[in-house]
Amino acid sequence: MSWSPTEPNLALLKGDVKKQPNKVVFLQIPGYVELMHKDILSVSDCKMYWQSNGKYLAVQVEGITTEALEVDEKILAFAWEPIGHRFAVIHGDQSNPDVSFYSMETLKNPGKVSKLATFDDKEADALFWSPRGKHIVLAGLKGCFNALWPSRVFRRG
């Protein structure tokens, strides 16, 4: 379950996690009005990440196929750009994972997820965007960190 950061809306997984079918439901509170839902199957785990202005919600579920974004590797961390439409994902082998950047709004694919860039073999397990999204720090438990400037690597989509 996760509250929208800006509206009185609640996203929640409805149904028994081990039984099918399940769905992610968006409710308007008060009143418990269902705004929309998305059916999902074979859910073993569900995590929700709101973008700071409440425009986007990422739902990470294991064991399903969706039309939005499929990552064949294990997702280790996820973070929305604080202001905007990009997000970063740390994925792959925990010892040397990759970091990928995506956008929800590109000129080629408006309203659809598009990959912007991937950086291979980064010793990181956490993502920290600067308040305006111009920089991101990739931090690792081993005390190492990398700072990236996404605006220099790829244009705002």
pLDDT one-digit tens code per residue, 105-133: 777 776 678 889 898 888 888 898 888 88
What pLDDT does residue 41 have?
66
Q: What pTM was computed for the model?
A: 0.64
What is the per-residue pLDDT across 18-48, written as a single tens digit (0 to 9) for each? Answer: 566 678 888 888 888 888 888 776 666 778 8
DSSP state letters, the chain: -EE-SSSSEEEEEES-TTSS-EEEEEEETTTTEEEEEEEE-S-S-EEEEE-TTSS-EEEEESS---SS---SSPEEEEEE-SSSSEEEEEES-TTS-EEEEEEEE-SSSEEEEEEEEEE-S---SEEEE-TTSS-EEEE-TTS-EEEE-HHHHS---
